[in-house]
Structure 1
Amino acid sequence: MGGDGDTGGIERVYRRRRRPQLRHLGLMGLLAVNAFFQSSRLFGDPYGHRDGPSGWPPLVFGLLVVTAFARVALEQLRAHTRVTAAGITVQGRLRSRSWAWQNVYDIRVERAPRGTNGMGPQWLTYLYDVEGRRRLLWHLDDWQLADPYAEVSDLCLSAAPYRSLAWEPRSQVEALILRGAARRKAWTWALYGALGVLAAMFVVDFLEIIDGRPDHPFLLLACVPLASFAVLGAVLDRYWTSRPPGSLAQQP
């Protein structure tokens, strides 16, 4: 991170400074290899019980693993956040996007999604625009900074002279932010539900193999979980965006 004294410290660049721990990367690699091996055993059809090709699940899983590792690599090498007197530019894994200060509604430090278990930042920083949409500010978190709250407070103070509006809440934008939070929560729970359905479909497919019945892996392991994700997400989205949960309504 750098600064420019001629612009009141507003010139800053937030890049990766802390490398991912090797034990976390090693654990991810072991889990990926084990899952790939198990899927190969399950769908490799070593006894010829199936008609037609059955090697697509390991192939698809392998592509997903490669894609996931590519995303992590691009995040570490390319992603960063640049702050200037003109506004904020977020360089993502592949594309960049900029906001002029008059289009920035707020900058907030929020708790990271559950499930990181110390393998990632616990606090992340998001930019909210005047339409209530949010965008992650890369590497402005507690992994790269000792105190992201203090950094964001100082950043907002330094940016005040370049804004036409004060850093104060507006009810219309807050309502849009609350609706966006409810929608994200709905689709997150829909994903959890789809993963549960996927686990159940693995059991059903395995039982069909044991019983010698015709099994339908593509239908059970792809179509059914995707359909459940779409249906559950649509239902929860409709319910929670019209009636946000209390936990979301109390967010600052």
Structure 2
Amino acid sequence: MGGDDEDERDDGRGIEREYSRRRKISRGRFVALCIVEGNFALQMARPDNTIPARYKLLAVALMALLSVWAILTVRRGRTTVGTDGVSARGAFRVRRWAWHDIYDLRVETNPGQRSADIKLFTYLYENDGRRARLPHLDDWQLPDLWAEVAGLHTAAARHRGMIWERRPGVEVRIRERAEHRKAQLRAATGAMIVFVAAFVYLMWEIFTDADPHPFLLLLCVPLAAYALLAILFRRRCTRAHA
């Protein structure tokens, strides 16, 4: 159900399911990514480009690292469900949860990504309100994600030692963490804007033969902006719910 190599068994003790990639990204999205990366490589290789070689190498290295991470995330990522709990493999690590540590499995929308291939994700919530996205347990890989997750709830009930129920204390922690994530996202967006502005200023310094400060402009300034914005947005969330 979750992939070509998925194995599902129900022998009276429980189920074993593995969700891995069964569908590639859409052709349109793949072409768009190729255009973006190709244009980036072309701009870096232009003979009339006056950007110093060391900065070109740094930019290419960062792009290469992001590409490798994305490829490994897609190819190695998988979610495994068994009698002992759930495990999620990412690009470089595996996280595991026992059933008694799992509060809920929930299908949630992908906000702000209406044109994306994946519109619904499955999140695992812990008893303290923290959550983790389960790789490939989404509506791009599974035609009926809601039914799949409902089936997991039913099959896992006998192994949790408790029924699936909403607990007010946990729900409050989930909402609080959701507000903190929203604040962090806004802070990250602001820091990205600062990074772009700093990058433009750095290019101006390079073109005018000024003394460039790439470490300060591209790392220190955006990180400082993120820290300040995160504090600001968290305080706003706290006041709004006070």
Instruction: Assess same fold via TM > 0.5.
Output: yes
Residue 191 of structure 1 aligns to a residue whose secondary structure is helix
**Count of matched residue positions in the alignment of Structure 1 and Structure 2:** 236
Where structure 1 has 5 or more consecutive residues not aligned to the other structure, the ranges are 47-53, 246-252
Q: Is the 8 A contact 1:16 1:144 kept in 2?
A: yes
Query: In terms of mean alpha carbon deviation, does 146-155 or 215-224 score higher?
Result: 215-224
Q: Is the 8 A contact 2:119 2:139 kept in 1?
A: yes
1:65-111 CA-to-partner distances (Å, cap 9, x unmatched) read 11221122212221111111221121222222221111110000111
- Aligned-partner Cα distance in 1 for 2:17–2:74: 18
Residue 11 of structure 2 aligns to a residue whose secondary structure is helix
Q: 2:17 aligns with which of 3, 12, 17?
A: 12
Cα distance change, pair 237–169 in 1 and its aligned pair in 2 (3 A) = same
The RMSD of aligned alpha carbons is 2.7
Q: 2:101 aligns with which of 81, 103, 114?
A: 103
Q: CA deviation at 1:121?
A: 0.7
Q: Is the 8 A contact 2:202 2:213 kept in 1?
A: yes
Q: 1:180 aligns with which of 174, 177, 181?
A: 177
Q: 1:57 aligns with which of 50, 55, 58?
A: 55
Instruction: Find the counterpart in structure 2 of residue 24 from structure 1.
Output: 29
Residue 79 of structure 2 aligns to a residue whose secondary structure is strand
- Aligned-partner Cα distance in 2 for 1:37–1:237: 41
- Aligned-partner Cα distance in 1 for 2:136–2:240: 30
Q: CA deviation at 1:239?
A: 3.2
Instruction: Find the counterpart in structure 1 of residue 144 from structure 2.
Output: 147
Q: CA deviation at 1:189?
A: 0.8
Q: TM-score, normalised by structure 1?
A: 0.81
Q: TM-score, normalised by structure 2?
A: 0.84
Q: Is the 8 A contact 1:108 1:127 kept in 2?
A: yes
Instruction: Find the counterpart in structure 1 of residue 75 from structure 2.
Output: 77
Q: CA deviation at 1:61?
A: 2.0
- Aligned-partner Cα distance in 1 for 2:103–2:162: 9
Residue 135 of structure 2 aligns to a residue whose secondary structure is coil
Instruction: Find the counterpart in structure 2 of residue 66 from structure 1.
Output: 64
Question: Counterpart amino acid of 2:147?
Answer: A
Cα distance change, pair 34–171 in 1 and its aligned pair in 2 (3 A) = same
Question: Residues 123-134 of structure 1: matches in 2 within 5 Å?
Answer: 123-134=120-131
Instruction: Find the counterpart in structure 2 of residue 35 from structure 1.
Output: 40
